[in-house]
Structure 1
Amino acid sequence: MNVALSKRALIRIISFLAAVLLVAAGIAVQQHAAARDYRLQLENTYARALGELSSYLANISADLEKGQYVGTPTQLSQMSARIWRESGGAKSALSSLPVSDLHMDNTYKFLSQVGDYAMALSKKVAAGAQLSEEDRQNAEALREYAAKLNDYVGGVERQVRDGRIDVTALRTARHNGGDDTEGTRPAGVSAGFEDVEQTMTGYPTLIYDGPFSDHLLTRRPRLTYGRPTVTPDAAQQAAASAARLNPGDLARADDENSNMPSYTFKAENLSIGVTKAGGLVTYLINGREIGEERLRNDAIFRFAEDYLVSLGYEDMRATYYEKADGVCTINYAATSGNVILYTDLIKVGVALDDGSIVFYDARGYINNHRDRTLGEPAITAEEALQSVSPSLTVLSERLALIPTSGQNEVLTYEFQAKAGEGEGAQKVLVYVNASTGAEEQILLLLETSEGTMTK
């Protein structure tokens, strides 16, 4: 059947189609404008991050060079603090760039170490020591690498300005000269950083008191040193005993090949690790759903302490605890005579519905515990008290072995004090070196209905 359209109907159809096309064109123009604005915003963000990274690296290089000529501890302290801030800023700027596919671990490690090493030298001089020739040579090597890294970043900036690098490109161009391949397009930012990782591996090994010191990044656990390797079956027995299960209830999981090589096992909601050397349980995590809270604090601590004894850990003292998500996590520190060892910590998590152990972490203890000869303090508590601020009222004191920032350790007097009067007075922990009288550390004690923690 033939259908004849009237002239009026035809005009209506054409008008409708024209309106649709106009709307579609408007949407396309709007989307193109939005994409252009987004691209411009992205370009500005990456360009700004490149500029900041370059500026931070230039400042680090200059300050390390100035540090060679510093004559007073005060000036070195100010310069070290500046380098530390600049290294943190450089890491932040680098993390803002689209170079995650390159896995720039060496570069991040360098930026962490350069700031931390500067602070370690400042602390050394403040304690009355002199910078050694090795200290100066290390600082000069770090300066050279900071300058070299800055040269790379400067080169990337120039290529961005010249259009040879597209800061919004996600891939690295191969420049293979094809007609329609990515080689004909500007490279991505990562193209300018491809060689950086290879250059950041030759600076000297740094041995110092800092959390990024090379000897700490590769240190072997002290407690497992010299212990024989256990079989997987023996490790599974230890894991089952710690989990209160039969060995057959656990399945073997992937081995953990870290500085603390371990067998790992799993069951429903449960994972557990056991060291290959010595067969020590490193951690236990039970992700089961926790029911309604039923336990009082005395029962909670009793369950945790009984669990530690069952694993062979005695002479442990509860220090701080926190309740969250139906679990009370308690920090236990080892003791040696009348000294509490904050270096040797085990964390135990008790479920508040039935008292079962749902979390356990002994890795800090395994890393640090060993037989020690602590010796007697060189100064008395009364002499150490002179280093405590007169604005504090001391409530108690005891001897404590505490870790330094580099996971070394120092014997101190721990003074618990308060600032002000009344129930709302802030409680403070002050640690004073038992040999030199130097104030080593200050912590704020936070006591709430949910636990006692420090910051």
Structure 2
Amino acid sequence: MVYGAIARVALPVALVGLVGAGMWGYQEHNEKNSVLIKAENQYQRAFHDLNHHIDKLHDELGKSLVINSRSQMTPSLTNVWRLAYAAQSDVGQLPLTLMPFNNTEEFLAKVADFSYRVAVRDLDKNPLTNQEYQTLKSLYNNSKSIQKQLQHVQTKVIDKRLRWMDVETALASDDKKTDNTIIDGFRTIEKKVQEFPEVDWGVGIKSLDKKKQQRIKGIDGNPVSKEEAQKIALSFTGLDPANTKVEVDDNGKAETYSAYSVRLTSPQSPTPIYMDVTKRGGKVAWLMNERDVGEQRMSMEQAEASAKKFLEAHGFSNMVVAEKDGYEGMAVMTFVPEQDGVRIYPDAVAVKTALDNGTVVSFNSTEYLFNHKQRILSKPKVTAEQAKKKVNPSVKVTDQRLALIEGKNDGNEVLCWELACSFEGNSYMVYINAMTGEEEEIVKMTTGQESKATE
């Protein structure tokens, strides 16, 4: 009787439990599928956008070769610049981080820089030179090669219904025997770009390249061993050495600096923590903890205070927040040093803080490591009021401050008046050279992005 009574109660409870577990498992499965489908759709969109932008880029380069009007050349090269940057953005959205593709990305960046430099100058006073025309011809032919290979990959993707999620898995598994059409196609593109004949990009682009190499060499300090890198990583994260597994490897050849790639696994962290430690000086170049972020419990102001405390604890003093935005439960911030009231933008540090508990989940100091140095700042020859007069009269200037930025043309540092402006509901940053009064740069601020010149 007792057994029967227990059975009458226990059996329905067990059935409810089984049904509940089944429903939970089904829901969990559906949620995972939804995430995978969303990621796949994003990858497919980025890939087809890349094809579209490369097609248009090739067409626009061809158009620039037949234009005989200087007034038409400027908008054409402006389109080349826009399309090259759009293609770069598309590449950045594809799961290619584990596969060297830096030569192709660098090619697109140089196409953008070259076309921009020519487009913004007065072509009536300084028309296209014969050498620049030859450069355009080279870019046209090179882009044709990339276009052709991309179209080949696109056809295969459509015909075979290939998935980008499989690409991500194949690259992560590092299985060199894997026969993957997409991976092979992109490797072919990278190989072709490496084999492109040398292009004369002009003095300006060469100057920027030289500047970049100087910056990379700027990370100084004593050589650091793998064992030392391990200790640095543990100290930086504050994880218990006794309970933390640390894996240290050389980073890929595609990196712009020499470093150890470190992976830390610990009961103190729900997910592994990844970081790069430079081989010279033992500096942490970046850190990432891809843990799930819970419900928001902190304000953006609290997150900023937490990030600033983190930076101070790791030797970054006199830092002020220059940009701040909220994204998927995180505060995404850019900090820059302030020297004598001047914001030093080349020394920027990026920090992401989780809004559930205020911990830093991402940190990037590569620009700081490349650029940071002792500086003697000049006094501005142009006043703030004089700088404001250089701005379009229809634009409203809401704030101003001094800032050090990198010049677009040669990468050299320029002292500017940073003017926060608004026009027809949009926010812009206008940079006026504080020594000459010339307009150096205009940046449109995205929605939700805090103006650099706002406290």
Q: TM-score, normalised by structure 2?
A: 0.63
2:170 match: none
Distance 1:310 1:418, change over 3 A: same
Q: Hey, what does 2:415 align to over in structure 1?
A: 411
The amino acid that maps onto 1:267 is: T
Match of 2:265 among 255, 264, 267: 267
| 1:387 counterpart SS class | coil
Runs of 4 or more, structure 1, over 4 Å off, are 52-59, 85-94, 102-112, 128-133, 147-154, 167-170, 193-196, 207-220, 404-408, 444-448
Look up the match of 1:15: none
Question: What letter corresponds to residue 203 of structure 1 in structure 2?
Answer: E
Corresponding residue number in structure 2 for 1:81: 78
2:388 aligned to 364, 368, 385, which one? 385
Question: CA, structure 1 residues 250+198, in 2 after alignment: closer, same or farther (shift >3 Å)?
Answer: closer
- Tell me what 1:364 maps to: 367
CA distance in 2, matches of 1:359, 1:313: 15
Partner of 2:22: none
Q: How does 1:98-177 map to 2 (within 5 A)?
A: 110=107, 112-125=109-122, 130=126, 136-144=130-138, 146-147=140-141
Alpha-carbon deviations, 1:30-81, whole Å to 9, x = none? xxxxxxxxxxxxxxxx9xx89x978964762562475xx87x6x55523422
Which region of structure 1 is more displaced relative to structure 2, 311-320 or 293-302? Answer: 293-302
Match of 1:254 in 2: 249
Counterpart of 1:254, as a letter, is D
User: What residue in structure 2 maps to residue 60 of structure 1?
Assistant: 61
Q: TM-score, normalised by structure 1?
A: 0.63
Partner of 1:372, secondary structure, is coil
| Other-structure match for 1:324 | 327
Shift of residue 340 of structure 1? 0.3
CA distance in 1, matches of 2:370, 2:131: 31
**Structure-2 change in CA distance of 1:54 and 1:359 (3 Å):** closer
Q: Tell whether 2:201 aligns with 1:206.
A: yes
| Aligned-pair Cα RMSD in Å | 4.7
For 2:385 and 2:396, the matched residues in 1 are separated by 14
Please state how far the C-alpha of 1:276 moved relative to its aligned partner: 0.9
**Deviation for aligned residue 1:142:** 4.1
Partner AA of 1:290 in structure 2? V
Identity rate, percent: 24
Tell which structure's C-alpha radius of gyration is larger.
1
Count of residue pairs the alignment pairs up: 359
**Matches of 2:90 and 2:293 in 1, distance apart?**
42
| Residues 388 and 229 (structure 1), Cα distance of their counterparts in 2 relative to 1, 3 Å cut | same
- 5+ residue gaps in structure 1? 1-45, 95-101, 158-166, 171-189
Note closer, same or farther for the CA distance 1:247–1:408 as it changes in structure 2 (3 Å cut).
farther
The answer (yes or no) to whether the contact 2:401–2:417 under 8 Å persists in 1 is yes
- The residue number in structure 1 matching 2:353 is 350
Contact 1:142 1:203 in 2 (8 A): no
- 2:382 and 2:435 in contact (8 A); partners too: yes
Higher helix proportion, which one?
2
Deviation at 1:351, TM superposition (A): 2.8
Question: Equivalent residues in 2 for 1:401-440 (5 A)?
Answer: 401-405=404-408, 408-419=412-423, 426-440=426-440
Structure 1 residues 405 and 326 mapped into 2: Cα distance closer, same or farther (>3 Å)?
Answer: same
Distance 1:290 1:103 in 2: 30
1:254 is paired with a residue whose SS is strand
User: Taking structure 1 as reference, are residues 390 and 89 closer, same or farther at Cα in structure 2, changes over 3 Å only?
Assistant: closer
Matches within 5 A, 1:7-86: 57=58, 60-61=61-62, 63-64=64-65, 74=71, 76-84=73-81
Three-state SS of the structure 1 residue aligned to 2:348 is: strand
Q: CA contact under 8 A between 2:223 and 2:279: conserved in structure 1?
A: yes
Contact 1:60 1:86 in 2 (8 A): no
Residue aligned with 1:452, SS: coil
